[in-house]
């Protein structure tokens, strides 16, 4: 008998398996799950910046038809754990930031709940507060570490001496603004209590993450909490456990056994689910006469919340990006009476590489060297921070391929050299990078049914990246069966545990567990059954064994971003007619979904460069442009042409698939490429995002 090995599916652009259901509106998200006799929750939010909730009058609200309960700290369920101050809501009368949950109204309809919430009278005592982010803040401090485990400060060599003796130097400060996560699906929950068990339909990036967090808060065993999430409409870092899921669980406990549904409004999301911290970044560079870096110094100031620290790892990318014998990085935080910042697509690398890659462009100009060549000239042989070899590093290939496709060779080196009509035209380049992250703790079960189908079970989630398809491709190849013979079950804590979807780690972590289970299944089939499937089928569970090469190689993805920019000479209006990104990200599992991810990241980078800026009024502590009418993001009209491609990269050290994360790589470097192109067009260096027309007008 001849065994036919099916054609591999990894590397093939298989359409999203859940795509038809999404197009037809049949893919159910958290808030859309069918439940019996649902009730609806509308939050009560703090109307002051900091202080206490002195009194509550809910008389009029409770008298409204359909209202079931009004709850505040006075009658809310008690939490067992209050260690996480962001999540330990309604446990006292204290108010830590404007918009914080101070209670909720539950009613038979969303309209009744919202109307009644407006009738609740909150008597607050306001205290002193501080919400103004400034680099000279008197309470500036160094955190113990930066997200998630990196050293706060690092020093190699003697940076000060090297800067003092450098042939060419740069000393500049760059700023990035406060940015708000705005996934298309709002943060939403359905919570149901049955006796001492809690079930949640939750819009999340990790069902086990939510399970473990809620179990600790309510004093439950994790097995008493079930979290289901078949689809998430975007997360970008914000859809971890926030106070909304805690509020929903509290409300459901008060109206047991009826389900409680909560979906945050867009305005509420601006106050409750985190944001990217603003940054002030001071960069100093030194170079020798040959244009090779001799010193790099990168000092970062960013904000955090007094009630919960989050330290973005903004300068960490500078530790590994370019060859240089003398290097200094540091992070300092400003503690404020605000909601806690959180992860936002490519945390650390996104703001940090804007500053570093802008500085590299300025330094290339000061040295009289082409910006592409300047980066290539400072390419390291080993990771400058660890001294380890890279498992693969093809930044130079990306730069050269991108320059060729972009037509970089036709670029005039001097700024303001090209005009078309009333527009100044320029082009710019920047590099991208993101670490390869493989989180521990994922397991997968694979069952071969008596009918010969292979069912893969893992509690992973698809946040819109194509995971439903990519994991089936990985399983099919590992099992050596056709794609159509594999079924996938995921998004439920009743399945084998999976790590969170974060840090572009999903496919790496979950795929490794699936490959381990597939290998174990095939080995057991051969060793115990001579390759013949038992009558009752076969099932194997395996855990991701981890990466034995982690201590031997430095593992990163890289890319090169190119931008065409036009700035109107009279009005200062800026347009970006073309973006090109060339990436090196290991083996591409599904080119169609990968391209979509990279285009999405670059679109967000364009939005970061030109539009996004959340304005906080320091008097009242809230973001004033808290909707899409005034918090501007890029739309189709802003994105005429984005081209994406990658160089082939064989990296056997990162994981069994040879893949690297790409979800966050695309945004990194985009804003710097646009800023560098704007300088080339106008001769005006914009170091403060976003790049608005007033910055080109004298």
Instruction: Read off the pLDDT of residues 384-402 as tens digits, 9 standing for 90 and up.
Output: 999 999 999 999 999 999 9
Residue 616 pLDDT greater than 70, yes or no:
yes
In eight-state DSSP terms, residue 341 is: P
Structure confidence at residue 102 (pLDDT): 98
* pLDDT over 70 percentage in the chain: 99
Give 401-424 pLDDT, tens digit per residue: 999 999 999 999 999 999 999 999
The values of phi and psi at residue 408, to 5°, are -60, -30
CB count, 10 Å around CB of 560? Answer: 29
Structure confidence at residue 531 (pLDDT): 86
Q: How far apart are CA 39 and CA 394, in angstroms?
A: 54
Residue 3's pLDDT band (cuts 50, 70, 90): low
Provide the CA 229 distance to its chain's centre, in angstroms. 18
Structure confidence at residue 222 (pLDDT): 98
Q: How far apart are CA 693 and CA 684, in angstroms?
A: 12
Q: How far apart are CA 204 and CA 182, in angstroms?
A: 14
Token pair 């042989």 in the structure block, residue? 381
**Integer angstrom CA distances of residue 690 from 168, 278, 354, 484, 608:** 28, 12, 11, 47, 7
CB count, 10 Å around CB of 548? Answer: 8
Structure confidence at residue 461 (pLDDT): 98
Could you list the active site residues?
664
Residue 318 pLDDT greater than 90, yes or no:
yes
Q: Is 460 within 8 Å of 208 (Cβ atoms)?
A: no
Cis peptide before 148 (omega within 30 of 0): yes
Cβ neighbors of 47 (< 8 A, separation 6 or more) are: 98, 122, 124
Structure confidence at residue 636 (pLDDT): 87
The values of phi and psi at residue 106, to 5°, are -115, 130
Q: How far apart are CA 381 and CA 389, in angstroms?
A: 7
Q: Is 52 within 8 Å of 127 (Cβ atoms)?
A: yes
If phi > 0 it is left, if psi is from -120 to 50 it is alpha, else beta; for residue 46 that is: beta
Residue 2's pLDDT band (cuts 50, 70, 90): very low
CA-based torsion, 254, 244, 467, 509: positive or negative:
negative
Cβ neighbors of 671 (< 8 A, separation 6 or more) are: 350, 354, 605, 606, 608, 609, 689
Token pair 């703790």 in the structure block, residue? 441
Instruction: Give kind and range of the element (H or E) at residue 512.
Output: helix 506-529
Q: Is 564 within 8 Å of 680 (Cβ atoms)?
A: no
Give 60-98 pLDDT, tens digit per residue: 999 999 999 999 999 999 999 999 999 999 999 999 999
Q: Environment class of residue 257 by beta-carbon count within 10 Å: exposed (0-12), middle (13-18) or buried (19+)?
A: exposed
How far from each other are the two terminal CA atoms of the chain, in whole angstroms?
81
Q: How far apart are CA 684 and CA 697, in angstroms?
A: 10
CB count, 10 Å around CB of 256? Answer: 12
| CA nearest neighbour of 252 among 45, 40, 33, 87 | 40
Q: How far apart are CA 284 and CA 334, in angstroms?
A: 22
In eight-state DSSP terms, residue 5 is: P
Give DSSP secondary structure letters for 150-204: B-S-EEES-HHHHHHH-SEEEEEEEEE--B----SSPPEEEEEEETTEEEEEE--
Residue 343's pLDDT band (cuts 50, 70, 90): very high
Label the pairing between strands 454-457 and 443-448: antiparallel
**Integer angstrom CA distances of residue 263 from 24, 183, 210:** 22, 13, 16
Q: How far apart are CA 235 and CA 186, in angstroms?
A: 9
| Buried residues in 586-609 as b, exposed as e (16+ CB within 10 A) | bbbbbeebbbbbbbbbbbbbbbbb
Helix, strand or coil, per DSSP, at residue 322? coil
Q: Is 10 within 8 Å of 657 (Cβ atoms)?
A: yes
Residue 607 pLDDT greater than 50, yes or no:
yes
| CA nearest neighbour of 259 among 428, 115, 414, 68 | 68
**Integer angstrom CA distances of residue 458 from 190, 240, 481, 545:** 22, 19, 19, 15
Provide the CA 520 distance to its chain's centre, in angstroms. 33
Helix, strand or coil, per DSSP, at residue 547? coil
Token pair 């670029």 in the structure block, residue? 411
Structure tokens at 455: 């069912």
Q: Is 96 within 8 Å of 85 (Cβ atoms)?
A: yes
Among the residues of 371-505, which ranges form H helices? 371-377, 395-406, 467-479
| CA nearest neighbour of 408 among 375, 450, 453 | 375
Structure confidence at residue 166 (pLDDT): 98
Cis peptide before 257 (omega within 30 of 0): yes
Structure tokens at 388: 């380890």
Structure confidence at residue 639 (pLDDT): 86
Among the residues of 77-136, which ranges form H helices? 110-119
Q: Is 304 within 8 Å of 335 (Cβ atoms)?
A: yes
Among the residues of 24-103, which ranges form H helices? 59-62
Structure tokens at 46: 């703090």
Residue 5's pLDDT band (cuts 50, 70, 90): confident
Structure confidence at residue 1 (pLDDT): 33
Q: How far apart are CA 143 and CA 549, in angstroms?
A: 30
Token pair 């700035």 in the structure block, residue? 567
Q: Is 484 within 8 Å of 521 (Cβ atoms)?
A: no
Q: How far apart are CA 92 and CA 377, in angstroms?
A: 58
Cis peptide before 223 (omega within 30 of 0): no
Residue 358 pLDDT greater than 80, yes or no:
yes
Residue 640's pLDDT band (cuts 50, 70, 90): confident
The values of phi and psi at residue 586, to 5°, are 70, -150
Q: What is the mean pLDDT of residues 19-38?
A: 97
Q: How far apart are CA 553 and CA 6, in angstroms?
A: 33
């Amino acid at each position: 008998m001849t065994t036919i090995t099916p054609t591999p599916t990894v590397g093939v652009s298989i359409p999203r398996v859940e795509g038809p259901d999404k197009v037809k509106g049949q893919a159910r998200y958290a808030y859309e799950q069918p439940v019996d006799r649902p009730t609806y929750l509308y939050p009560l939010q703090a109307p002051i910046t900091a202080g206490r909730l002195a009194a509550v009058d809910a008389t009029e609200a409770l008298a409204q038809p359909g209202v079931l309960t009004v709850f505040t700290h006075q009658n809310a369920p008690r939490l067992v754990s209050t260690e996480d101050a962001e999540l330990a809501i309604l446990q006292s009368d204290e108010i830590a930031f404007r918009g914080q949950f101070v209670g909720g109204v539950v009613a038979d309809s969303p309209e009744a709940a919202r109307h009644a919430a407006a009738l609740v009278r909150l008597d607050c005592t306001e205290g002193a507060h501080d919400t103004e982010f400034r680099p000279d803040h008197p309470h500036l401090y160094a955190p113990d570490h930066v997200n998630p485990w990196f050293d706060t400060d690092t020093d190699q060599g003697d940076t000060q001496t090297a800067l003092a003796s450098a042939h060419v130097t740069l000393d500049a400060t760059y700023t990035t603004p406060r940015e708000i996560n705005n996934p298309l699906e709002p943060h939403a929950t359905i919570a149901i209590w049955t006796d001492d068990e809690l079930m949640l339909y939750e819009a999340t990036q990790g069902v086990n993450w939510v399970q473990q967090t809620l179990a600790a808060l309510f004093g439950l065993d994790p097995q008493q909490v079930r979290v289901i999430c078949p689809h998430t409409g975007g997360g970008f870092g914000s859809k971890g456990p926030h106070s909304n899921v805690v509020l929903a669980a509290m409300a459901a406990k008060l109206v047991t056994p009826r389900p409680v549904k909560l979906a945050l409004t867009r305005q509420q999301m601006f106050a409750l689910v985190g944001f990217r911290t603003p940054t002030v970044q001071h960069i100093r560079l030194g170079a020798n006469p040959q244009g090779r870096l001799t010193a790099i110094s990168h000092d970062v100031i960013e904000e955090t919340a007094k009630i919960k620290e989050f330290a973005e790892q903004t300068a960490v990318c500078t530790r590994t990006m370019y060859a240089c014998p003398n290097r200094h990085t540091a992070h300092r935080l400003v503690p404020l009476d605000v909601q806690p910042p959180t992860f936002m697509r490519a945390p650390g690398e996104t703001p940090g590489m804007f500053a570093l890659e802008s500085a590299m462009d300025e330094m290339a100009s000061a040295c009289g060297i082409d910006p592409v060549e300047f980066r290539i000239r400072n390419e390291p042989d080993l990771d400058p921070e660890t001294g380890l070899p890279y498992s693969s590093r093809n930044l130079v290939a990306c730069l050269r391929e991108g320059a060729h496709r972009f037509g970089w060779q036709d670029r005039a080196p001097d700024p303001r050299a090209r005009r078309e009509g009333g527009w100044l035209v320029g082009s710019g380049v920047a590099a991208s990078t993101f670490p390869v992250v493989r989180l521990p703790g994922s397991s997968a079960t694979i069952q071969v049914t008596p009918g010969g189908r292979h069912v893969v079970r893992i509690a992973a989630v698809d946040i819109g990246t194509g995971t439903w398809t990519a994991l089936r491709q990985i399983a099919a190849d590992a099992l050596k069966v056709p794609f159509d013979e594999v079924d996938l079950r995921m998004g439920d804590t009743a399945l084998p545990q999976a790590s969170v979807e974060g840090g572009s780690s999903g496919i790496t972590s979950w795929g490794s567990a699936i490959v381990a289970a597939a290998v174990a299944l095939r080995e057991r089939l051969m060793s115990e059954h001579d390759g013949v499937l038992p009558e009752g089928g076969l099932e194997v569970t395996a855990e991701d064994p981890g990466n034995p090469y982690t201590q031997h190689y430095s593992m990163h993805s890289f890319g090169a971003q190119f931008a065409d920019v036009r700035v109107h000479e009279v009005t200062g209006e800026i347009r970006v007619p073309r973006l090109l990104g060339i990436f090196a990200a290991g083996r591409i599992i599904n080119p169609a979904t990968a391209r979509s991810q990279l285009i999405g990241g670059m679109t967000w980078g364009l939005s970061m460069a030109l539009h996004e800026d959340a304005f906080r009024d320091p008097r009242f502590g809230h973001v004033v442009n808290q909707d899409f009418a005034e918090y501007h993001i890029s739309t189709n009209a802003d994105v005429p042409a984005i081209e994406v491609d990658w160089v082939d990269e064989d990296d056997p050290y990162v994981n069994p698939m040879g893949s690297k994360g790409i979800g966050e790589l695309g945004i990194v470097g985009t804003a710097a490429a646009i800023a560098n192109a704007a300088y080339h067009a106008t001769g005006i260096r914009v170091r403060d995002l976003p790049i608005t027309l007033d910055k080109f007008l004298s």
